[in-house]
Structure 1
């Protein structure tokens, strides 16, 4: 940039002064009439440190916290001079890990992704060290709840790591899969497709969670065959790791216990439970019963601590409810009173329980008005759920309830229910096939009201 200076009749192009962190700070000191001591007092930064930052040759690099403190001393907004901070991130042509990581975290927190991109473009000239730093930033963001904000950093790693078997590449694929999940069904399925090839390259303890998340996500997407496959893989992996834990227990060698999010018995039981669910939704009720019995009593599982014992009891409870479910779907309506009592005692099971009851009523033509009345308050609150799993169940409940009303000639109630279901589908960008089913049901009955 140049500044035009006129000297008599001669026009001279004079280079404009280059803006730097220190020149801007010095300019503010003049405006506010601050001495070094005054700035130290206002910012809380040691006077000697400030002198080294501003006057030493070469100057001491400042941290992002120090820049923020100086900005507050001058009543500047958050993020002041962040676009100039990149000069502090590099020394001797190498990136400074202690300064760049806090800088990136703060940029993300205040939405200055422009600053991140500018520094990353320089960092990527030295991939080996830079990718490790970018991965660390992503991990910090991910584990502090900023999952969406971590996505660009995981993508930097994925797009620039040449070794597709490296730990940071595979873990970045997994974190991206987890962070990308939301209410958009199409994006969730794309996340599954992107991640699937890498699931078995993860450490085994993390593979447990990966297979569990894949199976759960396929449940919400109604991809029953894929859900079966991931449930099988989860069960097989849990079995292998269980045998390994038994060998460790019986060995004289001291070894580290398995580190996983849940107790190993939970993964083993969930392998059966998810398989049973996938079979149930395909209409294979007797097969589903077999897998349900597979987790109904896991008390034989060794290495059960207090947490493990708690998980065993939970699976016993779930198996009881799911066996009621399967009996209902097969046509054994006599279990309905016992099933309703089970739901009263376990209110968190009301949504999936009503899904089953309405479906069974449609299949075997029995009345459920009393059931709908009893749980009318809970039904009125189903649309409050934000969890993608429960929202998927809610969609299925509304669709089957509309079918129930139409079968009994209650066309006004049916149209209201299927219209609500269509609105829910559109709001969460649900599976297009399911949306078309809803529209078809609406079109078949709209003139019967």
Structure 2
């Protein structure tokens, strides 16, 4: 590598000269041994990360002021050592200095023996939520991997898939397609989590056959691993564990399969799956986490048993369902979506329910015992809820439906949800006569935004191919 002309030593020497300070005086100010500082200035000793921090603080400069020069220090003015580079990478990540991380990684990976160490750092950053820095490391480690069947490569692709997920459904799909071919190269523990996250992506796009396929595999894999675990009293020291206990994945896969049956209108089969995930008597473990998990799935099962009666058109079940979910705030929005869906299907008047739960109509996140509902699934469901709400109000000759169409269109365009965009356009054109001039102008601007987004998507897809 070609170093910059200036060095940290030059900057420090200039500072001492300008301030009229001796090495001994500055050493006391910075908290560094004066002998060490003297050797550093003479180039007889490399600058450790701890020295860099103290020198920078002693000169009253921003912490990352010398970071670019420190890359030169590590690779040109001394031999690279992991003892200095690891803490530098971690602190650069914390301060958002991705440029420095990129420089270090590009130089280190000229020697592929550093790939495992960089991967380890990436894993730590991923767990800490420093995903931008982790993404950079995972990409570089992936590019350096010689063996395509490497588990490390598969883990990198899994993490990159997780990092890539956001509001844009087109990009989520691309990320899922890239990752899916690496799924079976992962350790089985990671496969369970991979199946779960893939299921969320395809569920948000309503690809229910694919979701069911993933749920079947999750159920098969989790069941095999759990049965093996029950037969063995001990676990290998280095054996990986998934994010959740194995019994959770069995129950969750059954829940997903129930949801798939619900989406296909097969409420009898959906109820059969409900009875399975409400029964936790087979779980061998006995602790507080097990009790909480069983209680949560039983709560979902009770709610869904009532829900499937509502979706099947049993109006007499509606009041019971409403009262049940009214005490469970994290379930109210999902319940409202299904209630309005049923109201449109069976021509029910549910104004009193919408008024009662009006505070839950705006989009927000929802938490459960196991964390927040998946963001992609919830944003998609909220867009569809707004459309169903528009249908409900327009059917009842209420102009407010136009506003809900526009809200859904704006949100659906933002996340590239083509199916909901098309439904919004169809609804607006059918009821254009109810819109005032301001709403028509807003609609026109949103359509323009949709067209621009579509052009960008087409360009993105072409580049990807």
TM-score by length of 2: 0.85
Whether contact under 8 Å (1:234, 1:271) holds in the other structure is yes
Aligned to 1:442: 428
Aligned to 1:242: 226
Residue 296 of structure 1 pairs with residue 282 of structure 2: no
Residue 72 of structure 1 pairs with residue 60 of structure 2: no
Number of residue equivalences: 424
Residue 345 of structure 1 pairs with residue 327 of structure 2: yes
Residue 110 of structure 1 pairs with residue 95 of structure 2: yes
Aligned to 1:10: none
Aligned to 2:292: 310
Whether contact under 8 Å (2:102, 2:136) holds in the other structure is no
Residue 426 of structure 1 pairs with residue 407 of structure 2: no
1:440 CA drift (Å): 1.5
Secondary structure class of the residue paired with 2:242: coil
* Structure 2 unaligned regions, length at least 5: 367-373, 436-465
Pick the structure with greater CA Rg.
Answer: 1
Q: Deviations over 1:52-107 (max 9, x none)?
A: 32236xx2222233213212212223322222212443489863112112222333
Of 216, 219, 224 in structure 2, the residue corresponding to residue 232 of structure 1 is 216
1:258 CA drift (Å): 7.2
1:383 CA drift (Å): 4.9
Q: Equivalents in 2 of 1:99, 1:290: separation in Å?
A: 59
1:156 CA drift (Å): 0.5
Residue 175 of structure 1 pairs with residue 159 of structure 2: yes
1:148 CA drift (Å): 2.8
Q: Deviations over 1:215-243 (max 9, x none)?
A: 12222222212211111111111100111
Structure 1 pair 378/254, CA: closer, same or farther in 2 (3 Å)? closer
Whether contact under 8 Å (1:263, 1:307) holds in the other structure is no
Q: Equivalents in 1 of 2:365, 2:195: separation in Å?
A: 28
Matches within 5 A, 1:386-405: 387-405=375-393
Whether contact under 8 Å (2:200, 2:376) holds in the other structure is no
Of 368, 382, 398 in structure 1, the residue corresponding to residue 363 of structure 2 is 382
Q: Equivalents in 2 of 1:254, 1:357: separation in Å?
A: 47
Structure 1 pair 242/117, CA: closer, same or farther in 2 (3 Å)? closer
Q: Deviations over 1:112-136 (max 9, x none)?
A: 3333333333222212x22223212
Matches within 5 A, 1:171-250: 171-249=155-233
Whether contact under 8 Å (1:68, 1:80) holds in the other structure is no
Q: Deviations over 1:298-320 (max 9, x none)?
A: 22222233211221111111011
Aligned to 2:69: 84
Aligned to 2:20: 33
Aligned to 1:276: 258
Q: 204-213 or 170-179, which moves further after superposition?
A: 204-213
Q: Deviations over 1:28-52 (max 9, x none)?
A: 2212222111121111122233233
Of 110, 115, 137 in structure 2, the residue corresponding to residue 125 of structure 1 is 110
Whether contact under 8 Å (1:218, 1:227) holds in the other structure is yes
Aligned to 1:3: none
TM-score by length of 1: 0.88
